[in-house]
């Protein structure tokens, strides 16, 4: 699978989820489409391969927001 710049690849489902038509994948795609609508953009690609989902949007703003969220989630817990 060739991943274009700005695409996200996420190990999200068990390996038996191997198609965009699978109910889990279909439900996730709907969430992404709703998100795209909120940002007034389009979901450009959506693929599922052995539980791994690859998707991209045509919005730099949305892509940056997702990257920022992922960066925050990956920060180590410092206590408090």
Query: Tokens 């700005």 map to which residue?
Result: 6
Q: What is the DSSP string of 9-52?
A: EEE-S-TT--STTSHHHHHHHHHHHHHHHHTT--EEEEEEETTE
DSSP state of 75: S
pLDDT above 60 (res 80) = no
Q: What is the pTM of this model?
A: 0.81
pLDDT digits (tens, 9 = 90+) for 12-55: 999 999 999 999 999 999 999 999 999 999 999 999 999 999 99
User: Is residue 75 scored above 70 in pLDDT?
Assistant: no
Domain boundaries, the chain: 8-73
Residue in 78, 66, 22 with CA at minimum distance from that of residue 47? 22
Half-sphere exposure of 76 (CA within 13 A, CB side): 1
């Amino acid at each position: 699978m060739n991943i274009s710049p700005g695409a996200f690849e996420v190990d999200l489902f068990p390996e038996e989820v191997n198609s965009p038509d699978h109910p889990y994948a279909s439900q996730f795609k709907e969430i992404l489409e709703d998100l795209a609508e909120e940002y007034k953009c389009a979901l450009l690609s959506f693929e599922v391969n052995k539980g791994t989902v690859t998707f991209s949007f045509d919005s730099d703003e949305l892509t940056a927001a997702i990257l920022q969220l992922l960066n925050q989630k990956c920060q180590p817990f410092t206590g408090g």
